[in-house]
Structure 1
Protein backbone atom coordinates (compact mmCIF):
# COMPACT_ATOMS: atom_id res chain seq x y z
CA UNK A 1 0.00 0.00 0.00
CA UNK A 2 1.17 3.51 -0.73
CA UNK A 3 -0.62 6.79 -0.66
CA UNK A 4 -0.34 10.51 -0.22
CA UNK A 5 -2.36 13.53 0.83
CA UNK A 6 -1.93 17.21 0.04
CA UNK A 7 -3.54 18.98 2.97
CA UNK A 8 -4.44 22.68 3.04
CA UNK A 9 -3.46 24.87 6.00
CA UNK A 10 -5.24 23.47 9.04
CA UNK A 11 -6.12 20.26 7.18
CA UNK A 12 -6.08 16.77 8.63
CA UNK A 13 -6.40 13.21 7.35
CA UNK A 14 -8.75 10.51 8.53
CA UNK A 15 -7.72 7.71 10.83
CA UNK A 16 -6.09 4.88 8.91
CA UNK A 17 -6.99 1.41 10.17
CA UNK A 18 -4.62 -1.41 10.87
CA UNK A 19 -3.73 -3.41 7.77
CA UNK A 20 -1.94 -6.69 7.34
CA UNK A 21 1.66 -5.88 6.65
CA UNK A 22 5.05 -5.63 8.22
CA UNK A 23 6.17 -2.01 8.56
CA UNK A 24 4.49 1.33 7.93
CA UNK A 25 6.59 4.38 7.09
CA UNK A 26 5.55 8.02 7.11
CA UNK A 27 7.75 11.11 6.78
CA UNK A 28 6.97 14.05 9.02
CA UNK A 29 6.63 17.75 8.24
CA UNK A 30 8.52 20.55 9.97
CA UNK A 31 5.80 21.66 12.42
CA UNK A 32 3.60 19.74 14.75
CA UNK A 33 2.88 18.64 18.27
CA UNK A 34 4.87 17.95 21.40
CA UNK A 35 5.87 14.33 21.86
CA UNK A 36 3.68 12.82 24.53
CA UNK A 37 2.29 9.47 25.54
CA UNK A 38 -0.74 8.66 27.62
CA UNK A 39 -4.06 6.94 27.84
CA UNK A 40 -6.16 7.16 24.74
CA UNK A 41 -9.73 6.10 24.12
CA UNK A 42 -10.71 2.73 25.51
CA UNK A 43 -7.52 2.48 27.57
CA UNK A 44 -5.26 2.22 24.51
CA UNK A 45 -1.91 4.01 24.65
CA UNK A 46 -1.64 7.12 22.53
CA UNK A 47 1.54 8.80 21.30
CA UNK A 48 2.02 12.19 19.64
CA UNK A 49 5.27 12.90 17.79
CA UNK A 50 6.61 16.38 17.05
CA UNK A 51 7.61 16.40 13.38
CA UNK A 52 11.09 17.74 12.63
CA UNK A 53 12.88 18.28 9.32
CA UNK A 54 14.31 14.97 8.12
CA UNK A 55 12.33 12.87 10.62
CA UNK A 56 10.81 9.66 9.29
CA UNK A 57 8.34 7.83 11.52
CA UNK A 58 8.44 4.01 11.45
CA UNK A 59 5.72 1.95 13.08
CA UNK A 60 4.33 -1.57 12.91
CA UNK A 61 1.67 -1.65 10.20
CA UNK A 62 -0.98 -2.84 12.66
CA UNK A 63 -0.91 0.58 14.43
CA UNK A 64 -3.83 2.85 13.59
CA UNK A 65 -2.70 6.41 12.90
CA UNK A 66 -4.01 9.71 11.63
CA UNK A 67 -2.92 13.25 10.82
CA UNK A 68 -4.31 16.14 12.83
CA UNK A 69 -4.54 19.87 12.05
CA UNK A 70 -1.22 21.65 12.55
CA UNK A 71 -2.71 24.93 13.73
CA UNK A 72 -0.60 26.98 11.31
CA UNK A 73 -0.92 28.50 7.84
CA UNK A 74 1.32 25.96 6.09
CA UNK A 75 0.19 23.30 3.68
CA UNK A 76 1.63 19.86 4.13
CA UNK A 77 2.09 16.74 2.10
CA UNK A 78 1.78 13.37 3.82
CA UNK A 79 3.20 10.31 2.12
CA UNK A 80 3.02 6.81 3.56
CA UNK A 81 3.85 3.34 2.35
CA UNK A 82 4.09 -0.16 3.74
CA UNK A 83 6.89 -2.68 3.41
CA UNK A 84 6.02 -6.35 3.09
CA UNK A 85 8.58 -9.15 3.28
CA UNK A 86 8.90 -11.13 0.07
CA UNK A 87 9.64 -14.80 -0.31
CA UNK A 88 13.32 -15.44 -1.01
CA UNK A 89 12.60 -16.57 -4.58
CA UNK A 90 10.64 -13.34 -5.28
CA UNK A 91 13.29 -10.99 -3.89
CA UNK A 92 16.05 -12.07 -6.26
CA UNK A 93 17.81 -14.22 -3.66
CA UNK A 94 19.17 -17.59 -4.63
CA UNK A 95 19.85 -20.46 -2.22
Structure 2
Protein backbone atom coordinates (compact mmCIF):
# COMPACT_ATOMS: atom_id res chain seq x y z
CA UNK A 1 0.00 0.00 0.00
CA UNK A 2 1.34 3.42 -0.99
CA UNK A 3 0.23 6.45 0.99
CA UNK A 4 0.16 9.75 -0.88
CA UNK A 5 1.30 12.75 1.15
CA UNK A 6 -0.71 15.94 1.01
CA UNK A 7 0.94 19.06 -0.39
CA UNK A 8 2.08 21.82 1.96
CA UNK A 9 0.47 25.21 1.25
CA UNK A 10 2.57 28.24 2.18
CA UNK A 11 1.52 31.87 1.76
CA UNK A 12 3.83 34.84 2.23
CA UNK A 13 2.91 38.50 1.87
CA UNK A 14 5.03 41.40 0.59
CA UNK A 15 3.60 43.86 3.10
CA UNK A 16 1.93 43.44 6.50
CA UNK A 17 1.07 47.13 6.96
CA UNK A 18 -1.73 47.10 4.38
CA UNK A 19 -3.68 50.25 3.52
CA UNK A 20 -6.58 50.84 1.14
CA UNK A 21 -5.62 51.11 -2.55
CA UNK A 22 -2.09 49.77 -2.00
CA UNK A 23 -1.15 46.75 -4.10
CA UNK A 24 0.46 43.90 -2.19
CA UNK A 25 1.86 40.64 -3.45
CA UNK A 26 0.85 37.20 -2.18
CA UNK A 27 3.42 34.45 -2.71
CA UNK A 28 2.39 30.81 -2.86
CA UNK A 29 5.58 29.70 -4.57
CA UNK A 30 6.95 28.37 -1.27
CA UNK A 31 4.30 25.64 -1.34
CA UNK A 32 5.59 22.13 -1.98
CA UNK A 33 4.67 18.48 -2.15
CA UNK A 34 6.74 15.89 -0.26
CA UNK A 35 6.21 13.18 -2.88
CA UNK A 36 5.48 15.04 -6.11
CA UNK A 37 4.80 18.52 -7.41
CA UNK A 38 2.22 21.31 -7.16
CA UNK A 39 0.05 21.41 -10.29
CA UNK A 40 -2.47 24.10 -9.37
CA UNK A 41 -2.80 27.16 -7.14
CA UNK A 42 -6.21 28.68 -6.39
CA UNK A 43 -6.48 32.01 -4.55
CA UNK A 44 -9.74 33.30 -3.05
CA UNK A 45 -9.96 36.93 -1.98
CA UNK A 46 -13.17 37.59 -0.06
CA UNK A 47 -13.27 41.34 0.24
CA UNK A 48 -15.92 43.56 -1.41
CA UNK A 49 -16.18 41.36 -4.50
CA UNK A 50 -15.05 37.76 -4.23
CA UNK A 51 -12.14 37.29 -6.63
CA UNK A 52 -10.57 33.96 -7.55
CA UNK A 53 -7.27 33.41 -9.34
CA UNK A 54 -6.22 30.06 -10.78
CA UNK A 55 -2.91 28.43 -11.74
CA UNK A 56 -0.60 31.22 -10.58
CA UNK A 57 1.67 30.97 -7.55
CA UNK A 58 2.10 34.75 -7.16
CA UNK A 59 -0.78 37.24 -7.15
CA UNK A 60 -0.82 41.04 -6.88
CA UNK A 61 -3.94 42.36 -5.19
CA UNK A 62 -5.36 45.73 -4.17
CA UNK A 63 -7.91 46.03 -1.37
CA UNK A 64 -10.36 48.88 -1.94
CA UNK A 65 -12.02 49.02 1.49
CA UNK A 66 -10.95 48.99 5.13
CA UNK A 67 -11.62 45.70 6.88
CA UNK A 68 -10.40 42.32 8.07
CA UNK A 69 -10.11 39.72 5.32
CA UNK A 70 -9.17 36.08 4.97
CA UNK A 71 -7.28 35.06 1.86
CA UNK A 72 -7.38 31.37 1.02
CA UNK A 73 -4.64 29.64 -0.95
CA UNK A 74 -5.50 26.14 -2.12
CA UNK A 75 -2.78 23.98 -3.69
CA UNK A 76 -3.27 20.76 -5.62
CA UNK A 77 -0.55 18.20 -6.22
CA UNK A 78 0.07 15.87 -9.15
CA UNK A 79 -1.93 13.11 -7.40
CA UNK A 80 -5.00 15.34 -6.92
CA UNK A 81 -4.48 15.90 -3.18
CA UNK A 82 -5.56 19.36 -2.00
CA UNK A 83 -4.48 21.48 0.97
CA UNK A 84 -5.63 24.98 1.94
CA UNK A 85 -3.94 27.79 3.84
CA UNK A 86 -5.79 30.79 5.26
CA UNK A 87 -4.03 34.14 5.62
CA UNK A 88 -5.59 36.93 7.69
CA UNK A 89 -5.08 40.50 6.45
CA UNK A 90 -6.17 43.72 8.17
CA UNK A 91 -6.59 46.65 5.77
CA UNK A 92 -6.44 50.13 7.29
CA UNK A 93 -7.26 53.55 5.87
CA UNK A 94 -4.45 55.25 3.97
Same fold (TM over 0.5): no
Name whichever structure is richer in strand by fraction. 2
> What TM-score does the superposition give when structure 1 sets the normalisation length?
0.41
> What TM-score does the superposition give when structure 2 sets the normalisation length?
0.41
**Structure with max Cα Rg:** 1
